[in-house]
């Protein structure tokens, strides 16, 4: 239900446009940004139209059904910064990560949009995750120095330092015969240099790379523009 409420928030903000070519309401996060728009449309959440509460229930239920695992196996999920991992040395055979893409997305700021609703819906069940009024920003591994004066300290050097720590932590946790997979996508060479340097400095050896289509072709950002449609999976191993 918390996911349904979040989906409603996504379809009920003053950043929702009317999509004329399909005659339905667009969501807030058509791309990973809160962009200024000329005008907005409102949906009646109690209708059965696109963007309604019942539609959100349907979509969330479909995702849960598609991903449900009835094998009885259990997983443990824990929250921590990638720079200080809770697992002991050599504990894992595989590590797989989709790290921040350098300067592309201000993840923590955007997360606040949902955080304030999640805090109200499931905050009492997970008090340690919702202790603050907003998401933590300090340890976020992103390069935002030129984007926002408030984040002038989030420089390229800081990105490399923190990403280096995260990659070292991954190296510490993965056993010598283990394997790592790092997703990455960016059009700029500075971003690639920073990411690869952090991995090499941490002692990883990149042994293969695969491009995989990971983005929806119909997403707003892809319409009438040349955008990244794929990410690269970097396969790496301890030396």
Ligand X SMILES: C[S@@+](CC[C@H](N)C(=O)[O-])C[C@H]1O[C@@H](n2cnc3c(N)ncnc32)[C@H](O)[C@@H]1O
Contacts to ligand X by CB under 6 A:
81-83, 98-101, 107-108, 139-141
Listed in sequence order, the residues at least 6 apart from 94 whose beta carbon sits closer than 8 Å to its beta carbon are 174, 178, 179, 180, 181
Closest to 14 (Cα-Cα) out of 80, 69, 35, 145 = 35
| Closest distance to ligand X from the beta carbon of 73 (Å) | 22
Q: Which is nearer to ligand X, 24 or 136 (CB)?
A: 136
- As measured in angstroms, the least distance from the Cβ of 223 to ligand X is 21
Q: How far is the CB of 107 from ligand X (least distance, A)?
A: 4
Contact 53, 131 (CB under 8 A): no
Structure tokens at 192: 């690639």
Q: For residues 81 and 121, which CB has a smaller minimum distance to ligand X in the complex?
A: 81
> CB–CB of 8/56 below 8 Å?
yes
Report, in Å, the least distance between residue 47 CB and ligand X: 29
User: Which pair of tokens denotes residue 118?
Assistant: 């999640």
Closer residue to ligand X, CB minimum distance, 4 or 85: 85
Whichever of 18 and 107 has its CB closer to ligand X, that residue is 107
Q: Quick count: other Cβ atoms within 10 Å of Cβ 180?
A: 25
């Amino acid at each position: 239900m918390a996911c349904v409420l979040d989906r409603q928030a996504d379809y009920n903000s003053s950043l929702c446009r009317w999509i004329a070519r399909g005659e339905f309401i667009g969501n807030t996060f058509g791309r990973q940004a809160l962009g200024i728009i000329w005008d907005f449309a409102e949906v009646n959440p109690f209708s059965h139209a696109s963007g309604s509460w019942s539609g959100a229930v349907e979509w969330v239920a479909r995702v849960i059904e598609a991903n449900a695992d009835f094998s009885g196996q259990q997983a443990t999920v824990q929250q921590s910064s990638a720079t200080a991992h809770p697992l002991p040395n050599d504990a894992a055979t595989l590590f797989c990560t989709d790290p921040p893409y350098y300067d592309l997305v201000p993840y923590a700021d955007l997360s606040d949009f949902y955080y304030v609703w999640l805090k109200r819906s499931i905050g009492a069940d997970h008090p340690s995750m919702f202790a603050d009024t907003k998401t933590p920003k300090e340890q976020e591994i992103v390069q935002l120095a030129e984007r926002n004066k408030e984040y002038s300290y989030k420089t390229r050097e800081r990105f490399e330092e923190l990403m280096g720590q995260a990659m070292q932590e991954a190296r510490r946790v993965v056993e010598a015969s283990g394997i790592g997979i790092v997703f990455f996508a960016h059009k700029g060479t500075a971003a690639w240099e920073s990411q690869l340097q952090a991995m090499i400095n941490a002692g990883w050896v990149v042994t293969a790379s695969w491009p995989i289509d990971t983005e929806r072709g119909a997403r707003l950002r892809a319409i009438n523009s040349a955008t990244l449609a794929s990410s690269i999976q970097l396969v790496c191993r301890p030396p």
